[in-house]
Structure formats: structure tokens, C-alpha cells
């Protein structure tokens, strides 16, 4: 590949480079042996007068709205191929017009030629992505170094850290160090894991709530020197403790303050709860007698149980949907585009960050199965559907019972 050649105008080189927004990239093929200056001459000459005075290339270069035309070429077998690069500081519409004008060039000198624009690159977007990638690396370095001065920064860029470090262990969301660390923190759901990752805690793993506990998690806990169960400050958290304490190794319990959940704890509170963890036997001794076991109806959100405020917000989305269409509610509160029943399973598989499925229709066993497979913890619908029954890790709420 030959070196770049700058051409096509005199002024504004340094000035235009600073202001560039877009970069036009075009492929070139010439059926003959031509030089770079011939190519640049054809570009400047054959587009002259085509788009009017305001979009004449030489004038645009003089005002630094178009940068120098760069051409990279190579010759082979008496033919020339290569790439044309034209930086632009104009808006996207004007830049697209300039780019399309290149494709009108069909000859360079005496030789037949073809130019095809392959992309218009957003230079600013490329720079932003580079900044984000580098910021992730720098922030993770700060977290790993334990520098207390970075705590506020980490809080502000929570999403960057989380996306960069969340992993999967046999279908369970976890931090990157669950296998290598000597200790393990077990939490209820994947959002709990992500919140701890925000604070640099990388050895947490979700158990996906009440229900059947995966044997892989039981086996993993058995290999650790210390296993801490981090539970919410409610009856559900205590019920989870009772279940896990009967089935796997638990050395300590760290309970969130009354009425609070690990997925929403600020860093200071989460750190305090972990530091004040209680030995399993002592925690069990302080628990009140469990008068009744939560049954399938309670887990499914049925009976007289009052739906939380956020569930009532989900109910409002149902009225906006066509019959049997569904949307996904993401962890950041955004709502996806509606999908039909035939595309629900595929959409759920690709809905990373979804915490709920809201459907304007009956909740069937198939829908609950789709939610479970995609690790989506909440399903909201209108009524019970075919085969409606308890599914581990999924809560269902119905407008006919809770709206």
C-alpha cells in the first residue's frame, strides 16, 4: 500500500483537521495505470459545477469545510485500486451529498473508473468510543488498586464498570473472580451482583432467588474457605437463608437493613453490612419461628398479596400494547419496542439488562419458561394462561388480581 498523498487545495489543513466531524471513505478501481494526481484531478474537476457553487469542492477546501483529499493506491496487472479519504466538517446531509457525487466519476484520464462510497464515518463517535474504552480500563485499574479517592467517580460511572465485569457461571450472573477467590458472596439476584460490582466486589454470585438451587453453586461453595450469604432485609431474605442453609455451605450471613435490598444499597451501607457479617449459627438462632412457608401462590404474586408500586407502573404499559404483544422493562427503566408472540423468545434471549416482561395477554407456562431461561425475574400480564404454574426465579403479576 502506497503512502498517503494529500492534495486538492491549499488552505486550512491544520484548521480543518481540528473541526472534522465526518470522514468519507470510498473504494476506487481504475482499468488502467494512473497516478494519484490524476485521481485527485478527476475528483476536483468532474464534480465541479455538479452541485452548485455552494458545494464546489475547491471552495469548500478554502473555507475549511472539506479537508484535503487523501488517496491510497496500489497497482497490479496494469490496473489501479485503492481508497479515497475525504474529511468533512459540514453537517451529515451535506457530507452525504459530497460523498454521493464521487460515484458520478466514471473515467480518470483515458481509463474507465469506478468509485463506490463504502462508509461515512462519524469521527466524533469514534473518538467518544475510544474515550469510553480507555475510561473503562482506567476505572478498573483504580478499583483494583483500592484507591478510596475513586469511590465517588465509580458511583458516577456505574454502568461502565458493570458492563465490563459481569460474567456468567452455569447460567448464574457473577463477578469475574468467583472461581479464583478464596471467598464467595452469594446474593439473591443478578442486580445484586451488579451493584456489588460497582463497588469493586468481584466475588459475588446470584442464586436466582428461591426455588431449586443449582448443584454447580452448591459445589462451588464447598470449595471456598469462606462463604457469605448476603440477604435482603425482609422476610424473603430470611426465607432464602433457611433454604440455602439446609442445602449448602454457608459460613456467614450479611443482612441488609430492614426493608432494604442489596441491589439498591449505596457503597457505604453495603461495605458496612459485609464487615458486620454474622456467623451462620448465631444468625439462625436469632431468627423468629417461621410460622408458614411461602407457597406457590405467593411466589407467583397471586392471592391477596399487594403488588408493589413498580408493578402498578408496569400495569400502565399494558394498555399501550396490542393484544398479545409484549415489551421488556430494562434495569435503567427504559422500555423496549413491542414484540409479537412469535418473536418473544428470540427477543428475550437478546434482551440483556431486562428485568421484566410486560404482556397484554394471558401469562402461560411458555411465557414463564421464556422469562426463566432469559433470567428475567418478573412477568406482568392480564390473567392466567395455559399451564400457568410456579417457575423457579420468576414472579408473575396479573391485572385481574392486582390492578
Residues 262 and 310 occupy one common structural domain: no
The span from the CA of 381 to the CA of 388, in Å, is: 12
| Higher pLDDT pick, 58 / 178 | 178
Question: Residue 291 has what pLDDT?
Answer: 45
For the chain, the average pLDDT equals: 81
Residues 333 and 391 occupy one common structural domain: yes
Region 333-337: mean pLDDT is: 87
Among 123, 209, 230, 220, residue whose Cα is nearest residue 179: 220
Which CATH number does the domain housing residue 245 bear? 3.40.1360.10
- Catalogue the E-assigned strands of 188-303: 204-206, 226-231, 252-255, 278-279
Q: Check if the beta carbon of residue 67 is closer than 8 Å to that of residue 12.
A: yes
Which CATH number does the domain housing residue 40 bear? 3.30.70.60
The span from the CA of 242 to the CA of 262, in Å, is: 18
Share of the chain above pLDDT 90, in %: 18
What is the torsional sign of CA 236, 238, 242, 245? positive
Residues 11 and 73 occupy one common structural domain: yes
Task: Note whether residue 143 is domain-resident.
Answer: no
The span from the CA of 126 to the CA of 122, in Å, is: 6
Residues 105 and 48 occupy one common structural domain: yes
pLDDT digits (tens, 9 = 90+) for 226-248: 999 999 988 888 888 988 888 89
Give the DSSP H/E element, type plus range, for residue 384: strand 383-384
The span from the CA of 393 to the CA of 212, in Å, is: 9
Residues 274 and 308 occupy one common structural domain: no
Question: Residue 145 has what pLDDT?
Answer: 54
| Domain stops at, among 263, 286, 309 | 286
Share of the chain above pLDDT 70, in %: 83
Residues 178 and 243 occupy one common structural domain: yes
Question: Residue 24 has what pLDDT?
Answer: 92
| Domain stops at, among 252, 268, 286 | 286
Question: By residue range, what is the domain housing residue 368?
Answer: 296-402
Q: How far is CA 24 from CA 2, 56, 73, 112, 113, in A?
A: 19, 16, 16, 22, 18
The span from the CA of 86 to the CA of 95, in Å, is: 10
Residues written for the chain: 403
The answer on pLDDT for 303 being more than 70 is no
pTM higher than 0.75 = no
Q: Residue with C-alpha cell 473503562?
A: 136
Which CATH number does the domain housing residue 381 bear? 3.40.140.20
Q: How far is CA 219 from CA 179, 222, 224, 227, in A?
A: 11, 5, 9, 12
Task: Note whether residue 202 is domain-resident.
Answer: yes
Residues 43 and 62 occupy one common structural domain: yes
Phi-psi region of 328 (alpha: psi -120 to 50; beta: other; left: phi over 0): beta
Task: Note whether residue 133 is domain-resident.
Answer: no
Question: Residue 143 has what pLDDT?
Answer: 56
Residues 384 and 323 occupy one common structural domain: yes
How many domains does the chain contain in total? 3
Q: Check if the beta carbon of residue 67 is closer than 8 Å to that of residue 18.
A: no
The span from the CA of 177 to the CA of 1, in Å, is: 45
Amino acid at each position: 500500500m502506497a503512502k498517503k498523498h494529500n492534495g486538492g487545495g491549499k488552505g486550512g489543513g491544520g484548521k480543518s483537521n481540528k473541526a472534522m466531524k465526518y470522514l468519507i471513505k470510498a473504494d476506487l478501481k481504475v482499468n488502467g495505470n494512473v497516478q494519484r494526481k490524476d485521481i485527485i484531478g478527476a475528483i476536483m474537476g468532474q464534480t465541479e459545477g455538479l452541485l452548485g457553487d455552494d458545494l464546489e469542492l475547491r471552495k469548500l477546501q478554502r473555507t475549511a469545510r472539506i479537508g484535503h483529499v487523501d488517496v491510497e493506491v496500489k497497482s497490479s496487472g496494469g490496473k489501479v485500486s485503492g481508497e479515497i479519504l475525504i474529511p468533512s466538517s459540514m453537517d451529515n446531509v451535506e457530507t452525504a451529498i459530497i460523498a454521493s457525487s464521487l460515484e458520478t466519476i466514471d473515467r480518470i484520464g483515458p481509463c474507465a473508473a469506478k468509485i463506490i462510497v463504502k462508509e461515512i464515518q462519524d469521527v466524533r463517535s469514534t473518538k467518544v468510543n475510544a474515550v469510553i474504552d480507555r475510561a473503562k480500563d482506567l476505572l478498573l485499574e483504580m478499583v483494583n488498586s483500592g484507591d478510596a479517592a475513586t469511590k465517588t467517580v465509580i458511583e458516577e460511572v456505574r454502568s461502565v464498570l458493570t458492563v465490563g465485569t459481569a460474567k456468567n457461571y452455569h447460567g448464574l450472573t457473577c463477578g469475574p473472580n468467583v472461581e479464583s477467590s478464596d471467598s464467595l458472596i452469594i446474593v439473591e439476584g443478578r442486580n445484586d451482583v451488579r451493584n456489588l460490582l460497582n463497588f469493586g466486589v468481584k466475588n459475588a454470585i446470584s442464586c436466582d432467588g428461591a426455588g431449586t438451587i443449582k448443584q454447580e453453586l452448591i459445589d462451588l461453595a464447598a470449595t471456598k474457605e469462606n462463604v457469605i450469604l448476603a440477604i435482603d432485609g425482609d422476610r424473603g431474605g430470611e426465607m432464602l437463608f433457611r433454604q440455602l442453609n439446609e442445602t449448602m455451605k454457608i459460613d456467614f450471613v450479611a443482612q441488609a437493613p430492614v426493608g432494604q435490598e442489596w441491589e439498591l444499597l449505596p457503597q457505604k451501607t453495603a461495605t458496612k453490612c459485609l464487615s458486620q457479617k454474622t456467623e451462620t449459627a448465631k444468625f439462625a438462632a436469632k431468627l423468629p419461628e417461621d410460622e408458614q412457608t411461602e407457597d406457590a401462590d405467593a411466589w407467583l404474586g397471586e392471592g391477596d398479596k399487594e403488588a408493589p408500586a413498580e408493578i402498578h407502573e408496569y400495569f400502565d404499559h399494558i394498555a399501550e400494547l396490542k393484544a398479545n404483544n409484549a415489551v421488556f422493562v430494562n434495569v435503567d427503566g427504559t422500555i423496549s419496542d413491542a414484540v409479537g408472540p412469535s418473536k418473544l423468545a428470540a427477543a428475550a434471549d437478546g434482551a440483556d439488562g431486562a428485568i421484566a416482561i410486560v404482556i397484554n395477554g394471558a401469562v402461560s407456562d411458555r411465557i414463564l419458561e421464556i422469562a426463566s431461561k432469559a433470567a428475567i425475574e418478573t412477568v406482568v400480564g392480564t390473567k392466567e394462561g395455559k399451564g400457568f404454574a410456579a417457575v423457579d426465579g420468576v414472579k408473575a403479576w396479573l391485572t385481574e388480581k392486582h390492578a
